[in-house]
Amino acid sequence: MTVTPARRALVIVPTYNERENLPVLTKALMAYPEVRMLIVDDQSPDGTGALADELAREYPDRIDVMHRTDRRGLGRSYVDGIRWALQRQTSDVICQMDSDLSHDPRHLRDLIAATDRADVVIGARYIPGGAVVNWPLRRRLLSRFANSYIRLITRLSARDCTSGYRCWRREALARVPLDQTGSDGYSFLVEMLFAASAAGLTFAEVPITFVERRQGESKLSKAVLLESAITPWRLIASRRKARPSVR
Ligand SMILES: Nc1nc2c(ncn2[C@@H]2O[C@H](COP(=O)(O)OP(=O)(O)OP(=O)(O)O)[C@@H](O)[C@H]2O)c(=O)[nH]1
Ligand SMILES: [Mg+2]
């Protein structure tokens, strides 16, 4: 007998040109009866939006699709998706997950379960039990360096601040002031954790095996990398401005 966990989860999945990956991910997520999906598509030129609508028809009442028409971006898609999710009372836990199959759905229940002990649970590569598969050495080193750099500057306690696989307790996520976030890509993920930490949320990390995408193209650009290098400094500067030091 399978026991269905009591917590209902909404998984927000941003998509941009993921037509090969989205049906596979959807099928895997829909195998968990407690899970619903919100697909946030940014008018993908490859037709992922229309495909998402088809999937929503296939799983009525379990999948919603947001078709964004404003300026595209991962951060903007998450902000819109999270607002949508918080307006509705259909989930106890709100999750974030890439749509390129790098984030294996088999870890999802572990992440959801860990929201018992923390406000936000990060699917982490850089803790015991975590791993990265199929990344060239250059990419591995970059990601490791980025995490050390971010932790050193921002003092965030998480070991994997750039992982986009996360589950939030709904009421805790509602306390994170997302309207103040200004970045995109990886930087958005860091900024969101920084805002969560400043709002007093508690963190936990659960090991995941991250698998590099096999289908579709990466959206990691030089601009995204440059923004990532600057963001930690911008975040601590904004904190100093908000709380001037007392002598
Ligand atoms: N809605 C939306 N989704 C996006 C956008 N850019 C990226 N995504 C999605 O965000 C997730 C992460 O993007 P990726 O391109 O996989 O970025 P990455 O993981 O750094 O790069 P890879 O290592 O090549 O996978 C994927 O699910 C993308 O489809 C965007 O502008 N809008
Ligand atoms: Mg990816």
Pair 11, 35: CB distance under 8 Å: yes
Q: How confident is the model at residue 247 (pLDDT cuts 50, 70, 90)?
A: very low
Split at pLDDT 50, 70, 90, the class of 155 is: very high
Please compute the mean of the pLDDT values over residues 161-189 and round it to a whole number: 92
Nearest CA to ligand 1 atom 21: 218
Relative to the alpha carbon of 97, which ligand is closest? 1
Q: Could you tell me if the CB of 162 is within 6 A of ligand 1?
A: no
Ligand 1 and 16: CB distance under 6 A: yes
Q: Which residue has a Cα nearest atom 19 of ligand 1?
A: 218
Q: Is the CB of 98 under 6 A from ligand 1?
A: yes
Pocket test for ligand 1, best of 100, 138, 220, 227 (most atoms within 8 A of CB): 100
Return all residues near 225 (Cβ < 8 A) that are at least 6 apart.
none
Mean pLDDT of the chain: 92
CATH entry 3.90.550.10 includes domain 9-242? yes
The token duo for 174 is 């509602």
Confidence of residue 95 (pLDDT cuts 50, 70, 90): very high
229 or 16, which is more confident: 16
* pLDDT at residue 244 tops 60: no
User: Is the pTM here over 0.75, yes or no?
Assistant: yes
Terminus-to-terminus CA distance in the chain, angstroms? 62
